Chain A
């Protein structure tokens, strides 16, 4: 029962934050509402038994990546967005809710036809007396054994990203 209550509270926070991201004019408000979405998603991951993913979600996503975003917004002194092109207001007012509700209904129909709404998930997965599913030990075993090569390749990706960021953001020398 507690899981249901927590899920609905944080799912509502997620959707509310995502809609607030669309409604807000100033990018800093959008960034802060995205942090709300990511924090609520971390709790939903905990409900699914993904402890380590939840921790990484808070540390890497809501922490590092969003700090980078907020830092750039403040560095560039970004103001409220100005609209130059007169986009169709009807498309914005009707189309966006239609898109969001339509995607939700589509997901509901598809998962109903696939029989996924009868499968209840979450809760502890006990092995040898302790809940091992999704804890750092289990994830680490998988990451450093079966997925060792992809893990090493991501380090190259990150190295390239660091060098790319430095080169792109560098000031051109006269």
Chain B
């Protein structure tokens, strides 16, 4: 049997990787992938605590996080496509003005 803290450490590392990717990456799609990585780290925490307290509510929360992530991916990628149409670039350093 594996201690609960190992799962929490793993999810903290995944979340930290997501934060680091969000900060250092300049490609808007990679930034978006980092957000998904953070969501996965949080999901692991939910499932680990659900296994600890022997309650399925954590699994339901994971489903809602997945639904929100899927909706966010659909809308976010549509925004990325719209940005690419107007700016012809995916680099966030070139997308630093609200007006064209």
C-alpha gap A87/B21 in the complex (Å): 14
With both beta carbons as reference points, the residue of chain A lying nearest to B15 in the complex is identified as A103
A-facing residues in B10-34 (Cβ within 8 Å): 10-21, 24-27, 29-30, 32-34
Judge whether A60 and B91 touch: CB under 8 Å: no
- Mind listing 13 A-B residue pairs with CB under 8 Å? A3-B2, A21-B21, A50-B50, A52-B59, A57-B43, A65-B70, A83-B93, A85-B93, A95-B20, A107-B5, A134-B59, A161-B70, A165-B78
- Neighbouring A residues of B6 by C-beta, 8 Å: 7, 11, 117
A-facing residues in B41-100 (Cβ within 8 Å): 43-44, 47-48, 50-52, 54, 56-57, 59-60, 62-64, 66-75, 77-82, 84-85, 90-91, 93-94
Judge whether B93 and A165 touch: CB under 8 Å: no
- Neighbouring B residues of A47 by C-beta, 8 Å: 2
Q: Interface residues, chain A, CB within 8 Å of chain B? A: 3-4, 7, 11, 14-15, 18-19, 21-22, 27, 30-31, 34, 37-38, 41, 44-45, 47-50, 52-53, 56-57, 60-61, 64-65, 68-69, 72-73, 75-76, 78, 81-85, 87, 92, 95-96, 99-100, 102-104, 106-108, 110-112, 116-123, 125, 133-134, 138-139, 142-143, 147, 150, 154, 157-158, 160-162, 164-169, 171
Given contacts A68-B73, A116-B52, list 4 more A-B pairs with CB under 8 A: A50-B51, A110-B8, A111-B4, A134-B59
- Neighbouring B residues of A69 by C-beta, 8 Å: 29, 32-33, 36, 73, 77
